[in-house]
Every structure is written in structure tokens, then in C-alpha cells.
């Protein structure tokens, strides 16, 4: 069983490699950046499982996950992260990741999860996926309608009303209507404040 670990935290790498090597049946490789991971996969594929740190250099969030999954003959790739939200975990699993591992997991569970995934299963810690729910599904987001969220997303990308209208295929006055509602709900007095509040709340 061959596993590749890519994480810029040497400590996690060292630990994981040590625990996995102790299993006897597992052969572990480890690198510290996404670029190195890509090189390694190109030279050494296929792996039974690849673990990618969500916050490592070059990773660019889920982009790196998708890139890695597309490599070779369709690699099994799992995300590992200390800070990622439940939303990110869900997006990763939807995108076809082999699993999601929060770094808050005990070493033993972590090793078990890795073996589980290397055998072809999809893994995510139940408590993380459920417990975090209320916290992560931002209270703000619940107050907003679907359209308002779409408009807000455009705003947090620095777009003008006209651009947002074009992108959503609606008229500019409608965008303004949603903006007005958004300001009220977010307690903002202009678009810049609304954008900052949305970012602050971790939306998008």
C-alpha cells in the first residue's frame, strides 16, 4: 500500500510517516509543497492514497485537490487541514475527494482513517461534519435568500451592479433591490461595508 503525504508542517509529516511505517504494510512518501507533490506523483504514480494539506504552499485551496485527482489514472486524494471549515470539507467530498481529515483528530484515528481511505472508502469524521454545522453554516447566510447570496458573492468579488446584473442575467434595478435588502440584513451602510462584513463572516 503506497501513500503520499504533502504537508508543510514537518511535525505532522514526521508523525504520520512514523505511524504508517509502523504498520508494516504501508510505504509512505512525504513532501512539503504542492509543487513537490505534483512532481512526485508524475514520477511515482499511482499511489493508493494522497493526502494534501489544504493550507500548504501552492495548494490554492480546492484547485490543488482537483489537479491532483486529475493526475495519472485518477488518483485517490484526501484533504487534511487544521483550519478548514465544514463547508470546505463538504466541497472537497462533493468534488470527489477520498476523504477529509481535520488535524484535531487523535493520531490513532488519523492512521485508521488513512488506511480506511487507502482501501477505497470515503472518510470524514462524523462529529466534525455534524457538530460544526451550526457554527459553520453562518447565521448570516441563513437570513439571506438565494438571489441575495448570489448578488453578495458578486459584490465580494468587487463587481459593479451592472456586472453583477450581467452575470446573473437580470436587470440592474433588480440588483439594486437586492443590494438594498442586503444592506439592511447585514447592517451595512454601503457596498464596501457589506463586502467587508461578508468576508469577515467567512462567506465565500
- Decide if 129 contacts 85 (C-beta within 8 A): no
Q: Which stretch binds a second copy (CB under 8 A): 4-12, 89-97, 134-142, 173-181?
A: 4-12
Residue tagged 453583477 (cell numbers)? 164
**Whose CA is closest to 55, among 80, 30, 26?**
80
Kindly state the smallest distance separating residue 69's Cβ from a second copy, in Å.
24
Binding flag, residue 197, DNA (CB under 7 A): no
3-state secondary structure (DSSP) of residue 56: coil
Grid cell digits, residue 37: 507533490
Binding flag, residue 178, DNA (CB under 7 A): yes
Binding flag, residue 55, a second copy (CB under 8 A): yes
> Residue 121 or 162: which CB sits closer to DNA?
162
> Residue 6 or 110: which CB sits closer to a second copy?
110
**Whose CA is closest to 140, among 88, 188, 101, 192?**
188
Binding flag, residue 8, a second copy (CB under 8 A): yes
- Decide if 103 contacts 81 (C-beta within 8 A): yes
Candidates 116, 174, 185, 204; binder of DNA (CB under 7 A) is 174
Number of CB atoms found within 10 A of residue 44's CB: 12
| Binding to a second copy, residues 121-160 (CB under 8 A) | 155-156, 158, 160
Burial class (CB in 10 A: 0-12, 13-18, 19+), 45: middle
Binding flag, residue 195, a second copy (CB under 8 A): yes
Interface with DNA (CB under 7 A) = 145-148, 160-162, 168, 170-174, 176-180, 183, 189-191
Interface with a second copy (CB under 8 A) = 8-12, 14-15, 55, 82-83, 103-110, 155-156, 158, 160, 188-193, 195-196, 199
Amino acid at each position: 500500500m503506497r501513500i503520499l503525504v504533502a504537508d508543510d508542517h514537518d511535525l505532522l509529516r514526521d508523525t504520520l510517516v512514523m505511524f504508517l511505517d509502523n504498520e508494516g504494510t504501508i510505504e509512505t512518501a512525504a513532501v512539503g509543497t504542492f509543487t513537490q507533490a505534483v512532481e512526485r506523483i508524475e514520477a511515482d504514480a499511482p499511489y493508493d492514497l494522497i493526502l494534501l494539506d489544504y493550507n500548504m504552499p501552492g495548494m490554492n485551496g480546492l484547485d490543488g485537490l482537483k489537479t491532483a485527482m486529475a493526475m495519472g489514472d485518477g488518483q485517490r486524494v484526501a484533504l487534511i487541514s487544521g483550519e478548514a471549515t465544514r463547508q470546505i470539507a463538504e466541497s472537497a467530498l462533493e468534488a470527489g475527494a477520498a476523504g477529509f481529515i481535520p488535524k484535531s483528530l487523535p493520531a490513532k484515528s488519523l492512521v485508521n482513517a488513512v488506511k480506511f481511505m487507502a482501501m477505497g472508502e470515503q472518510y470524514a469524521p462524523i462529529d466534525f461534519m455534524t457538530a460544526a454545522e451550526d457554527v459553520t453554516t453562518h447565521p448570516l447566510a441563513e437570513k439571506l435568500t438565494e438571489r441575495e447570496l448570489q448578488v453578495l458573492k458578486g459584490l465580494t468579488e468587487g463587481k459593479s451592479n451592472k456586472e453583477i446584473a450581467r452575470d446573473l442575467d437580470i436587470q440592474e434595478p433588480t440588483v439594486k433591490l437586492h443590494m438594498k435588502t442586503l444592506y439592511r440584513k447585514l447592517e451595512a451602510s454601503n457596498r464596501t461595508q457589506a463586502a467587508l462584513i461578508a468576508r469577515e463572516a467567512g462567506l465565500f
